[in-house]
Amino acid sequence: MSKQPSASTTRPASVDRDDVIHVLGEIDEDMLNDILALNPTFDDLEQAAIWAAGEGDVLARQGHPLTGVVSDIVDILTADEEEPPRWG
């Protein structure tokens, strides 16, 4: 009898372009390709969408820091955003 790897030791299957569009909405083709190149999971996309929408503080309080693929996706999604003005 062969033993299957447990869910905690395997990474879920990567997503396809339809999944990315479903979670993140219509995005630039270059962004889409850059995100797909990261081989994200559906969970990665969902977390990135939350962070990019400005709700990351909620996840951080729940022990889900912005790291790895999620961080890379957020960087891609927010690359065109202007830096907020620095006061003082």
What is the C-alpha to C-alpha distance for residues 37 and 2, in angstroms, rounded to an integer?
32
Comparison of pLDDT for 84 and 31, the residue scoring more: 31
As a whole number of angstroms, the distance between CA 44 and CA 14 comes to: 9
Q: How far apart are CA 86 and CA 88, in angstroms?
A: 7
How many Cβ atoms are within 10 Å of 12's Cβ, its own excluded?
11
CA atoms within 13 A on the CB side of 22: 8
Single pTM value for the model: 0.70
Tens of pLDDT, residues 21-68 = 999 999 999 999 999 999 999 999 998 998 888 876 665 666 666 789
